[in-house]
Amino acid sequence: MLSLALASVRLRWASFVGSFVALACGVALLATSLLVISATIGVPDQGRQRFSEAPVLVIADLNVDFTPASGGDVQPTQVPAQPGLPAGLLAAVAATGRTVEDHTFYAQLADGPRDQVGRAWSSAALGGYRLTAGTAPATDDQVVLGGGRPEQIGRSVRFVTADGPHTATVSGVTGAEAFEHAVFFTDARAARFSPAVGALAAFAPADAVRRAVEANGGAGVARVLTGAERSQADPHHAEVAARLDGVQTPLGLSAAVSGGTAVFVVGGTFALSIAQRRRELALLRLIGATRRQLRALVFREALVVGALASAAGCALGAVGAAPAGRWLVDHDLVPDGFTVPVTGWGLLVAGAIGLLTALTGVLFSAVKAGLISPGEALAEADAERTSRAALAFRWASGLLVLGGGIAALALTARGWPDAAASVADALALLLPIVAGCVLLAAVLAGPAIRLLTAPPALVARLRGRSAEDGGGIVWATARQSSLTAFRRTAATTTPVVLIVAFAGCLVGSIDTIDRAQVTETRTQLSAADLVVVPAGTPGLSRTVADRVRAVPGVQAAVITPTSLMAAVDDGQALVPFRAATADPAALAAVDRLPVVAGSLADLGPGSVVLSRTWPGSPAVGERIAVRLADGTPRELRVAALLGTGAEAVQAWVTDPDAVTGGVGGPALAERIDLRLLPGADRAQAAAALRTAVDGLGARLETPEQVWSAATDSTARDSWNALLMILGLAIGYAVITLANSLVMTTSDRRRELSLLRLAGATRGQVLRTVAVETLLCVAAGALLGGLGTAISVGGSWTALTALVGPTPVLVPWTVMGVLAACCAAVALPAAVLPAALALRGGDGGGILHGAAGPA
């Protein structure tokens, strides 16, 4: 059977081109994804880092021990904010020998980058900094600029810290370092800016340092790092690790979606090939081949195609690894300098999955081949066969999957609406909708075509003509052909449904989620008149808040971000939730939080206001156990509950410890919402506010500008991930569409010749093929739009329950463009083979019987 399979693939190569190309592309994407993912596992050596020259490094233990409610092993959980090292431990390690304390805090020059930091000069040598000009800072009013220019020495510079603006004189400059942008101060001034010690460099033997740490709290308080582990204390290392981790999920989803689409492509192509070869396979049965041998033949054909496609895909994946890395760098998804090495294991795994995909995709076709009877070889015509059992299976499977997806959406909207605000949960909910639409595409294509052609038919009836004459002979023939050629119509419609439904559901659901979050921000700011936001800085300093509060005629709600950690999944895990602090009176007066129980007036030290989606559904007055951002355990009383769940802030507190806990000094405010008091002049107040924040890294905006910025930000964050997930899957479906049309059109040479013998001109025949193709594409777009409406409507219903009235965003433009692209691909794929089939003259093809293999 292997030799027969090889001969079949060689002689009927045109039938396997689509499977080969799709599978090769799938393996190429999978190989590239595996290579990129392997490159993101573990942060590569970044060269010199903040503590490269420290032999031994002591840092605070960033984990808290959490014991699940059901028992079991203790789970170390990382805290959002780094706590400082205890004074007793600092003294104990200093007793072992020379130590250098690291004080790092926010300090940004007027023209400096957002991530600029201030540090003590004594810690500069730990990162390999060396003066290139000038001297070290000798007094508190002097600084050394990392990466500065010699001509800056002696100049006065202005910088901002968490407590406000300052000035200093540049005493020296160092060479630039890739891992940070630093400004160095005297040790005394750095300690005043940030009293907590984030890291301690020790020059004594590592064993002596470990003994000192163990004698003063041990692993629960601090960690001792040596060798390559020292990079873990560098924020640049953590930033790189987070960015690399961030691309793994969309890459994995992209590979999974593309792999599933590849199975669909291979399965569809082989199914169409089996349908076209029924008489050929029946002849094999007639001369003695068993059902098992036919199934083995189809499997071996898939094995041959899969092996060749996997080899080609691995080669393409190896070539595409470097461009994929550059694309990620260009879109700022990974740091500069990221490279993707080609590893043998990644290619081997991709090739093996490609073979498995080919065999999985052909499984149903092999079963169908085994059911062919010998008597079919004696049939005079290869009429299209669509059994009632096959139709029933399509209806049952499609309705089951689609109905399950709709039921899941309805249950989510009613019982767990907060799940709709999660992109990951939304993706899980939309996939059954897409799959159901694809399964039903074949049986719903006919009704969709009838619906699309109803208006011309109605006009024809009103004019006293038959419905088939509504658009002329070309229209009537194309309409009837698309309605009767079930297999060909299904093969054309299904890929279009996949493309339009998948893109529409994915883009529409994510856009609706993003807009719901913007809607919640808009609702919160509905009573605000003006907003102060950062301008080129990571946040707003204390001086900005003080100056804004001092402006007459305005009431200010200063919002500062923090975190609270709480147990989820019935106490099985500890996770951080985003929280914020604000004065409760100002918050109630300026912002509009949807309080459904309790009162913001009860918010004070030791209490909290929670979203209703908070784990455990606590009631007002109940005390809940949480951990602050630095891991400190607390019990807080629930003062009020909010009636929404899509918001970025899920807890409001006033406890100062929740803001200041950790290294780096006071926290920066995120935003200041302002409301004009009765009688205040808006123009005068706005002018006074602009003057108050001038030069402090802040600007005054209207609430409308804040909403627009939030919309743009969420769109940018979503689009790159969508490109990775969506792009190749749509590419595969386009390949399927083109291949199916080429196969079916080439196979209908006898039908086209009959049209010529019936009197149709060559142009009329080709126009008939074109109109039929466009009808199938339009039907697919209609069904895809229906799936999109179901998916986006379900997300919108759930989000409306969370945030109130919010716009529903159906990506009509995206779906329209994709439908047009499908038409642009389908037309030449159908018309060109038809034109080639008609080269023989006026209907001569019919005298030679049905077309054989190309």
Give residue for tokens 């991530």. Answer: 115
The CA R_g of the chain, rounded to the nearest whole Å, is: 34
Query: Does residue 346 contact residue 31 with C-beta atoms inside 8 Å?
Result: yes
Question: What is the H or E stretch that residue 736 is in?
Answer: helix 703-746
Greatest mean pLDDT range, 133-137, 305-309, 493-497: 133-137
Which residues on neighbouring strands pair with residue 164, listed in sequence order?
A: 161
Question: Residue 849: what pLDDT?
Answer: 44
pLDDT band at 380 (very low <50, low <70, confident <90, very high): very low
Mean pLDDT of 566-592: 88
For residue 677, give the DSSP letter. Answer: P
d(CA 349, CA 191): 53
Checking if the pLDDT of 853 tops 50, the result is: no
Is the per-residue pLDDT at 616 higher than 50? Answer: yes
| AA identity, residue 22 | A
Q: What is the pLDDT of residue 382?
A: 47
Residue 329 token pair: 């760098």
Q: Residues, the chain, total?
A: 854
pTM over 0.75: no
- Within 10 angstroms of residue 328's Cβ, the number of other Cβ atoms is 23
Please report the pLDDT score of residue 729 as a whole number. 62
pLDDT at 810 (0 to 100):
86
pLDDT of residue 847: 45
Of the listed ranges 95-99, 588-592, 663-667, the least confidently predicted one is 663-667
Task: Give the separation between CA 527 and CA 592, rounded to whole angstroms.
Answer: 7
For the segment 422-470, what is each residue's pLDDT rounded down to a tens digit? 666 666 777 788 888 888 988 999 999 999 888 776 666 666 665 555 4
Query: What is the percent of the chain where pLDDT is above 90?
Result: 31
Average pLDDT, the chain: 82
Residue 540 DSSP class: B
Mean pLDDT on 609-626: 89
How far apart are the two ends of the chain, measured CA to CA in Å?
22
| Whole-angstrom distance, CA of residue 780 vs CA of residue 782 | 5
Handedness of CA 40, 43, 46, 47 (dihedral sign): negative
Question: Which class for 619: exposed (0-12), middle (13-18), buried (19 or more C-beta within 10 A)?
Answer: exposed
Q: What is the pLDDT of residue 90?
A: 93
The residue behind tokens 């840092």 is 59
Tokens encoding 833: 């083979």
Angle between helical axes of 486-524 and 423-462 (0-180°, round to 10): 120
Q: Which of 43-47, 224-228, 278-282, 288-292 has the lowest mean pLDDT?
A: 43-47
**pLDDT 10s digits, 506-515:** 888 877 877 7
Residue 381: pLDDT band (50, 70, 90) is very low
Q: Does the pLDDT value for residue 150 go beyond 80? A: yes
What's the mean pLDDT in 8-31? 73
Which residues, other chains included, contact 485 with Cβ-Cβ below 8 Å and sequence gap of 6+? 384
Residue % of the chain over a pLDDT of 70: 83
